[in-house]
Structure 1
């Protein structure tokens, strides 16, 4: 290879500008997609590998819950050899913080940890150090900028509401932001002892039924993650068995059935979906990564095929040139090298559109899939290794495939300007075309099915009406005690239909287990805690008995049950259920998303001064004035509280956030897929027309009209697209049928979903082919007869 070969390669690329541009663009799309998904896969597997000696870092898991008692980690270090160090971690949300303008802001990433937390995770401080007392707080550099507009804020005070009142905490350190591939990523970290201010205080959540116990050091309270740093050579299985022995020695009966294991820190992100208490750390999905890998390989495969088709079309116009080279003594190896060089140059040039795909695609992936792919992934050798390897592999494989085919052809055949037509090759080209469009049809059907099911989930709740319901959080004792005052004033507004308080307002995403205990048995139900008036406000139907009336503290607990509970236990209103009086029976309703079946349910009545939420049913005509009234009342009653007013339907939208994001991602892949399909079709059309140029000229000389020629060329291609429809419809039906099994209540797979996808594929193919067919049909027949 020399400079002359490179010049010839550039000349050939520039000579066929349209084909070369399409080749570069198509290959760039394919490379860009596989780079994005490859970077995502590398990122997903890189979590917590920045921790020094990460192979010896483990998290304690108790049965299926990583939350453990406060004394566990130090007891393990004291009693079990081989533990180099440890830290404990707890995180809470909805913490209110005052900024410099005395405005209250809610933050979710507020954590508490031992003061060696940062050093063990290798997190550097820009200023100061970790909190060593309950009066101190360390904050991230982003939070320093957010609250103080600068980073050097040592000694400044941050007013934080952890309990009922704002507590001034002294900023003792500003640490660097945690990397995007860290499972733990708090923005505020207080001393572990400060957690006493928030742990165990469930009264605000459960009101009358909440616990006031706040002994965070009690062995019975599992709140904290316990991370262990094992000494080199220590086996985690040995430590796990010794933890079991340690706990049994404390309480043989309670802990003899409990299992303990050490989860590697590097497995936490992708291997925690089966854990019930993994609520403080980021998590991924290992199964989804398999789909990403599959998608990446399919897109790259399609892009390479498109490139091969287009290159074959260009090669057909250079047969005489290549034949002359062979006749003048060029060996098969030289021909292969020339084609290989051009192929790799095209692959290298395709990095320009690939870069655009990467720059725009990574933020899209982060936003749609809630990922945190950042700059740090481009500092990994795996990323650049993948970039170089995929680019070289793509160009080399394509070049070898095309070059080998050309180099084996004799010089005599090449000098005639044509190659032998092979029916097998013709069918192969068109079968790949069918594959292109089948993928597109499956993706389009998937998008329509996703959107149809999401819409079904948002609008088909059984026996409950969540529309035009405003929800206000009563996030202070003052607001809870004055809930009735707020209700009375709101009901003066002519646009307010009714108001009611509650601890939970359905439909909500979480499950609240309620256990009804007697001396003989304990029965667990799906539960709700609601106040007077909430059942009629939500349009729920009482089919026996009556809804809650005035709350009475007379030692008797009245409950309301749903139809499923009544049928399972053969109970009617007025009967006892495990010692509790059934006040009424409500018609079965969807208390959660449509992913889950309606379960036997028990509804408890909340104390009117201990409501966590206030619901306002409106007529939908002037909700703005109602929200303004709520804001005014909150500021009057509890000036230091944040007024949080949302629509209940917004809460329901969050049920299907994952599916909505999947629909966005598949839509993007559908657009890329059809772009690649069009490019592949363009290449096949060029090959076909180049082979039939003389035939078209003869037909025109014999009187064939342009429409007849266009129809002749289109018919063959549309047949293969119809084959793609036939292949794609059952595949799409099967895939979507399996996906809909994730929902207990699901929409139907309507015929029009498949019809629209098929018509779109046919229309796109028809437009693409007709454009090239028309150009060939309107060509001067004299030029066509001279073509060969």
Structure 2
């Protein structure tokens, strides 16, 4: 019997191919979007799952104490010596380790040059973490001089194979060329927050100085510290004792907190310079909500068209009942038809997901595969079965209850049955209007952030990471001989400007007025005297500071510049000449913003500390950019042999900080397009079915003198009412959602009133085009054809 039902269902799909295609296509698009987002969400939620003891591992986070007693997260890490101290003094700590990230360094193999991310690790690192070892023994780096562990990516880049144990390459950093031998190759999974290409033993860091990295405390010993907890639970008293270790050895009044390893990717709510790309929990909620809305639209569309199409089968049902068909058999027939279509839609959605996955991976920057667990497979199958039953049950129960004599007369679904369809159409319009409004606001905010005056000139500024701080003056003199280079400044690198520009990372700035000491928290920016000229920052009061390299090391003539916000918070009429803990204030600059506009402008102190400056910034002429870059590169490599000239335009770096907003905008745009497409396919199908159902009515109206335009207006009027209801409901919901979303930005665009009617107008125009196109074709037919059998 079931085989018979399936055959009839397939025959029906073939006979009504247009309506079946529209019905299934909307559902397929909705499921495909939902599958892609599901795979992305699962990928985001499973970071660090490859680690063997992930649930027992914690990262040490330092917490600063404000004057009012508040504890706020300052950053990650602490002294590398914490690792050894935790293992020795706290029995509840099963194991501990550290890693120090050192950024990119140049390496060589023959004539080829490469850049690689370098890290120094504790002797316990490779037993602590479960990075898959592809070849060799990682622990040999702690016993064999000049040996390193490299990642599989680096092995393929250098040697073209994962089997690189025993092979050698060269590197240079603050000294002569050094030769390194590969002791092991490990896989560094994409879903690890620890990303490095070359691992050195920790004892190699600062080798030759009086600092023993991993044992010494104090400056230059900072690292990321991790602990693995045993069965003994850590108490508040234990955490307090651990925090005292830092104060005893370094004098830093900090408190230590312990962040679970699995929470690092999504739940880090402070500036984390150790992790390049954090996930966003709000983005997961947004994408999940969008996926649910779209799949609901597909399911609503599927149910609506299945219900509406049933009204064309009155005579078929009457004939079956006259021939003795029982009601349960008719119910099973309708249900099987819907379930067959639902399962066909599932197969097509899975195929489309597999087809689109490479493009989706390019868009989100991942390497996601179409893999489902058995739990998810059963959930999908039950969901499809449920939607099939939902789509088929309403027409099945209604149609199977018809009197066969009335069924032969034909008819249409009306009353409460018609209201059900109208309600589903209103829901689809509601979702489409809601998505159009939200997407418009997201792009309006993105445009606002990209074009807002930041208080500086971001165009044509080139930044280069370098170690030239001790001989930068000679290089600057040579560079400025080129007329295309307008200014040069040495400062901190772009991606670390203002040292984690966050209220949780501010440092103490003190000054003396009227015989009393005042203080506040401020962000520190390290730069030379040409910084304000290079970035076109306006000086409001005083002058630019001078940067004298020799005087700095003699602790003479130290100067500082502050921004407007710092001046206001100092509550002094004229800050020029005031002595501070950083030097004498010589100038006040207009407020500027290097950070994303999610954050407010905070007090900023700009001062010269050459040992903390690792980037050169060039203001170049807009003409002959390629030629100017080539000149800078050649000069840099001639004066700094063995070093890479790796440059980046400042406006590109700044634009990169808005990647989350762009991703939100583009994903919202895609989902909005899919939602509108599904809604319009539903409207198209309903109008076509309604016109087919009302063929006789249209014929009678035309015979009685009704013009085609009037009949088209009749169809349009029905959908305009539903659209109006959806618009009235969608506007307050969209306002509430986007008002809360914009509240997350310190600088935000206005929630303009015209966005709401614009969204309604867009959906209105698309709906009218769909309804008019389909209804006009039906209304313009010869009425003789519709009435010839009457």
Matches within 5 A, 1:711-750: 711-750=713-752
The whole-number CA distance in structure 2 between the counterparts of 1:420 and 1:732 is: 33
Contact 1:722 1:762 in 2 (8 A): no
- The yes-or-no answer on 1:29 pairing with 2:39 is no
Equivalent residue for 1:649, pick from 643, 646, 651: 651
CA drift at 1:648: 1.7
What is aligned with 2:467?
A: 476
Equivalent residue for 1:529, pick from 526, 529, 534: 526
What is aligned with 1:209?
A: none
The whole-number CA distance in structure 2 between the counterparts of 1:184 and 1:471 is: 26
CA drift at 1:84: 4.6
The whole-number CA distance in structure 1 between the counterparts of 2:528 and 2:246 is: 42
What is aligned with 2:601?
A: 598
The whole-number CA distance in structure 1 between the counterparts of 2:86 and 2:492 is: 39
What is aligned with 1:266?
A: 262
What is aligned with 2:160?
A: 149
What is aligned with 1:236?
A: 233
CA drift at 1:366: 4.4
Per-residue CA deviations over 1:409-459 (Å, capped at 9, x if unaligned) read 34333333324521x443443343233233223323333333332232222
- Secondary structure (helix, strand or coil) at the match of 1:137 reads strand
What is aligned with 1:467?
A: 459
Equivalent residue for 1:758, pick from 752, 757, 760: 760
Matches within 5 A, 1:417-436: 417-419=410-412, 421-422=414-415, 424-436=416-428
Contact 1:505 1:530 in 2 (8 A): no
Matches within 5 A, 1:403-414: 403-414=396-407
The whole-number CA distance in structure 2 between the counterparts of 1:448 and 1:347 is: 33
What is aligned with 1:129?
A: 137
1:89–1:616 CA distance, 2 compared to 1 (3 A): closer
Contact 1:48 1:265 in 2 (8 A): yes
- The yes-or-no answer on 1:438 pairing with 2:436 is no
Contact 1:244 1:258 in 2 (8 A): no
1:733–1:384 CA distance, 2 compared to 1 (3 A): same
Contact 1:693 1:787 in 2 (8 A): no
Contact 1:29 1:353 in 2 (8 A): no
Contact 1:111 1:188 in 2 (8 A): yes
Per-residue CA deviations over 1:154-189 (Å, capped at 9, x if unaligned) read 1111324455554322111222352x4444344433
Contact 1:118 1:124 in 2 (8 A): no
Contact 1:508 1:651 in 2 (8 A): no
Contact 2:23 2:682 in 1 (8 A): no
Contact 1:163 1:197 in 2 (8 A): no
Equivalent residue for 1:634, pick from 623, 632, 636: 636
- The yes-or-no answer on 1:332 pairing with 2:334 is no
The whole-number CA distance in structure 1 between the counterparts of 2:251 and 2:529 is: 41
1:542–1:643 CA distance, 2 compared to 1 (3 A): same
1:526–1:306 CA distance, 2 compared to 1 (3 A): same
What is aligned with 1:285?
A: 280
Per-residue CA deviations over 1:320-370 (Å, capped at 9, x if unaligned) read 212222333322222222222221211121134413542355455545555
The whole-number CA distance in structure 1 between the counterparts of 2:241 and 2:489 is: 51
- The yes-or-no answer on 1:89 pairing with 2:90 is no
The whole-number CA distance in structure 1 between the counterparts of 2:753 and 2:242 is: 62
CA drift at 1:573: 5.2
The whole-number CA distance in structure 2 between the counterparts of 1:242 and 1:548 is: 47
The whole-number CA distance in structure 1 between the counterparts of 2:585 and 2:333 is: 86
- Secondary structure (helix, strand or coil) at the match of 2:556 reads coil
Per-residue CA deviations over 1:252-273 (Å, capped at 9, x if unaligned) read 7989986555544334433x32
| Total equivalences in the alignment | 762
Contact 2:126 2:139 in 1 (8 A): no
Per-residue CA deviations over 1:645-695 (Å, capped at 9, x if unaligned) read 222211221221111111111111111111111122123323432443222
- Secondary structure (helix, strand or coil) at the match of 1:97 reads strand
The whole-number CA distance in structure 2 between the counterparts of 1:538 and 1:61 is: 34
1:311–1:685 CA distance, 2 compared to 1 (3 A): same
The whole-number CA distance in structure 1 between the counterparts of 2:577 and 2:78 is: 41
TM-score normalised per structure 1: 0.87
Flag structure 2 segments of 5+ consecutive residues without an equivalent. 64-72
The whole-number CA distance in structure 2 between the counterparts of 1:731 and 1:299 is: 17
Contact 2:26 2:301 in 1 (8 A): yes
Contact 2:5 2:337 in 1 (8 A): no
CA drift at 1:602: 1.9
Aligned CA-pair RMSD: 3.4
Matches within 5 A, 1:610-629: 611-629=613-631
The whole-number CA distance in structure 2 between the counterparts of 1:550 and 1:225 is: 33
Out of 676-685 and 34-43, give the one that drifted further.
34-43
Out of 167-176 and 485-494, give the one that drifted further.
485-494
Equivalent residue for 1:304, pick from 296, 299, 320: 299
CA drift at 1:276: 4.8
What is aligned with 1:780?
A: 782
CA drift at 1:249: 7.6
Out of 725-734 and 246-255, give the one that drifted further.
246-255
1:85–1:542 CA distance, 2 compared to 1 (3 A): closer
The whole-number CA distance in structure 2 between the counterparts of 1:339 and 1:92 is: 66
- The yes-or-no answer on 1:67 pairing with 2:77 is yes
1:4–1:573 CA distance, 2 compared to 1 (3 A): closer
1:147–1:31 CA distance, 2 compared to 1 (3 A): same
The whole-number CA distance in structure 1 between the counterparts of 2:524 and 2:61 is: 27
CA drift at 1:130: 0.9
What is aligned with 2:170?
A: 159
CA drift at 1:60: 4.4
1:541–1:3 CA distance, 2 compared to 1 (3 A): closer
1:14–1:236 CA distance, 2 compared to 1 (3 A): farther
TM-score normalised per structure 2: 0.87
Out of 671-680 and 85-94, give the one that drifted further.
85-94
CA drift at 1:112: 3.6
Contact 2:290 2:668 in 1 (8 A): no
- The yes-or-no answer on 1:6 pairing with 2:6 is yes
1:230–1:529 CA distance, 2 compared to 1 (3 A): closer
Out of 324-333 and 114-123, give the one that drifted further.
114-123
Matches within 5 A, 1:686-697: 686-697=688-699
CA drift at 1:195: 4.4
